[in-house]
Amino acid sequence: MLTYIIRRIILAIPILLGVAIISFLLVYLAPGDPLAQFRVPNVRPEVLDRLAEIYGFNKPLPEQFIGWITNYVQVWNPDAWGLSITYRRPVLELIAERTPATLLLMGTSLALTVVIAVPLGMLAAVKQYSWADKIVTTFATIGYAMPSFVLGTFLLYIGAIWFRVFPFGGMTSSLRVESNPLDIAWHLALPVASLAIQSIAGWSRYIRASMLEVLHQDYIRTAKAKGLSANRVNFRHALRNALIPVVTLFGLSLPALIAGAVITETIFSWPGLGSFGVTAIGQRDYPVIMAFVLLGGIAVVIGNLVADILYGVVDPRIKY
């Protein structure tokens, strides 16, 4: 298992390198002068040349990339990912500060999704064509079709403006009560609902489809021919198999949730990575932008790895 994980990580290196190249090109090929903010009348030309030399802007592109990427892998060094132009602080530090908020948001909504979507999807599949199935399927279809910003806006209006039950945004009521869990939970409710409703919609559709496929398998007929009750057939024989593709979904939804966070965090001013990244684009904070792209790539690699490992856990046919 360990050798498998190591092999997978080694295989991921070229992909991450590719992501790094694209993120580098995205920023360096962008029109505009990275030193534009220093080109003001009282900055002497010599200073600009110095700056260009320090940042390596006067070197050819490949050389700049190699310099940048060698810095990048030295994550033990706080300056490895450069300094944020906006905050004048190490990017790594800023990212580390904002990660817990995102993980809290993601983790809560993912947990909620699993707890709600698995029974819903199963119910819809086992009682195919029933009213329960129709209700679940309709909910899932609409939830799936509703873009996250539309859903977020609706929830914000209903929860914070109409009923005035939930706060408008942010993670805490004031900076001082930062660690009060109840206050955080209160702020968490709307953004989590916004993310969870969407993923519940997607997951329950998926679980329903997976369950329906399993219910038509030969071994389900065998289980029935043994004289097992419908519950035993559904919960023991079918669910175990239907969940196999779902665990991969679990791993693969990690990056999707981060993408969802970009919008949801912005709507609810949640101080996580997503809103940080979007703000950075608005401020042309290039080191942060590049870090964010690479982080996205790392999330995908980790998500895939988690998916494959879980796959091996739930499916006895897979051995590493």
Partner 1 sequence: MADRTYDDVTQLPVDDTEDIDRTEVRSYWQLARRRFVRHRLAVIGAITLAVLIIAAAVVPLVVENATGVDINKSFAAAEIVDEEGNLVLALLGYSRTGINMFTQLMAATATSLMIGFAAVLIIVFIGVVIGAVAGYAGGWVDNLLMRVVDIALSMPGLFIIIAFVAFWGASIWTIILAIGITGWTTAARLVRAEFLSLREADYVQAARALGASPRRIILRHMLPPALAPIIVAASLGVADSVVLEAALSFLGFGIGAEQASLGTLLNVAFEYLNREPYLVLFPSIVLILIVLAANFLGDGMRDALDPRQRVEQQ
Partner 2 sequence: MTTVSRSVGPLLEIQGLKTHFFTQDGTVRAVDGVSFQIGHAKTLGVVGESGCGKSITSLSVMRLIERPGKIVEGSIKLNGEDLLDKSDEEMRDIRGDQVSMIFQEPMTSLNPVFTCGEQISEAVQQHTAASRREGMDRAVEMLSLVGIPDAKRRAREYPHQLSGGMRQRVMIAMALSTDPDLLIADEPTTALDVTIQAQILELMRDLREKNRMAIMLITHDLGVVAEMVDEVVVMYAGKVVERGDVRTIFGNPHHPYTQGLLHSIPRLDERVDRLEVIKGTVPSPYNLPTGCLFKRRCPFRMPICDVAPPMRQIGEEHTSRCWLTPAGEAPEVGADPTPEEAEAAGEQLTVEPR
**Binding partner of 240, given partner 1, partner 2, none, CB within 5-8 angstroms per partner class:** partner 2
Tokens representing residue 158 in the block: 């209903």
* Interacting residues toward partner 2 by CB under 8 A: 217-219, 221-229, 237, 240-241, 244, 314-317
Tokens representing residue 79 in the block: 């300056």
Closest distance of CB 294 from partner 1, Å: 9
Distance of alpha carbon 310 from alpha carbon 253, whole angstroms: 13
- In the chain, the largest separation of any two C-alpha atoms, in whole Å, equals 88
Can residue 92 be called a binding residue for partner 1 (CB under 8 A)? no
Site for partner 1 in 264-293 (CB under 8 A): 266-267, 277-278, 281-282, 284, 289, 292-293
Q: Which is nearer to partner 2, 195 or 238 (CB)?
A: 238
The answer to whether 279 and 240 are in contact (CB under 8 A) is no
Query: Taking the CB of residue 232, how many other CB atoms lie within 10 A of it?
Result: 14
Q: Which is nearer to partner 1, 164 or 176 (CB)?
A: 164
Can residue 10 be called a binding residue for partner 1 (CB under 8 A)? no
Closest distance of CB 176 from partner 1, Å: 27
Query: Measuring CA to CA, which residue among 212, 207, 73 is closest to residue 140?
Result: 207
The answer to whether 246 and 306 are in contact (CB under 8 A) is no
The burial of 216, by beta-carbon neighbours within 10 Å (0-12 exposed, 13-18 middle, 19 or more buried), is given as exposed
Site for partner 1 in 202-221 (CB under 8 A): 202, 205-206, 209-210, 213
Distance of alpha carbon 290 from alpha carbon 275, whole angstroms: 15
Q: Which is nearer to partner 2, 187 or 237 (CB)?
A: 237
Q: Which residues contact 47 (CB under 8 A, 6 or more apart)?
A: 38
Can residue 135 be called a binding residue for partner 1 (CB under 8 A)? no
Can residue 61 be called a binding residue for partner 1 (CB under 8 A)? no
Q: Which residues contact 155 (CB under 8 A, 6 or more apart)?
A: 190, 193, 194
Closest distance of CB 7 from partner 1, Å: 16
Give the residue, chosen from 150, 165, 177, 185, that forms a contact with partner 1 under the rule CB under 8 A.
150
Distance of alpha carbon 282 from alpha carbon 292, whole angstroms: 14
Closest distance of CB 30 from partner 1, Å: 4
Closest distance of CB 123 from partner 1, Å: 17
Site for partner 1 in 229-248 (CB under 8 A): none
Contacts 24+ apart (CB under 8 A), 308-314: 308/8, 308/248, 308/251, 309/1, 309/5, 309/251, 310/247, 310/248, 310/250, 310/251, 311/244, 311/247, 311/248, 312/1, 313/247, 314/240, 314/243, 314/244, 314/247
Give the residue, chosen from 95, 110, 249, 257, that forms a contact with partner 1 under the rule CB under 8 A.
249
**Binding partner of 297, given partner 2, partner 1, none, CB within 5-8 angstroms per partner class:** partner 1
Query: ∠ at Cα 257 (255, 260), nearest 5°?
Result: 115
Closest distance of CB 237 from partner 2, Å: 5
Q: Which is nearer to partner 1, 29 or 182 (CB)?
A: 29
Give residues in contact with partner 1 (CB under 8 A). 14-16, 18-19, 22-23, 26-27, 30-32, 141-142, 144-150, 153-154, 156-157, 161, 202, 205-206, 209-210, 213, 249, 255, 258-259, 262-263, 266-267, 277-278, 281-282, 284, 289, 292-293, 295-297, 299-301
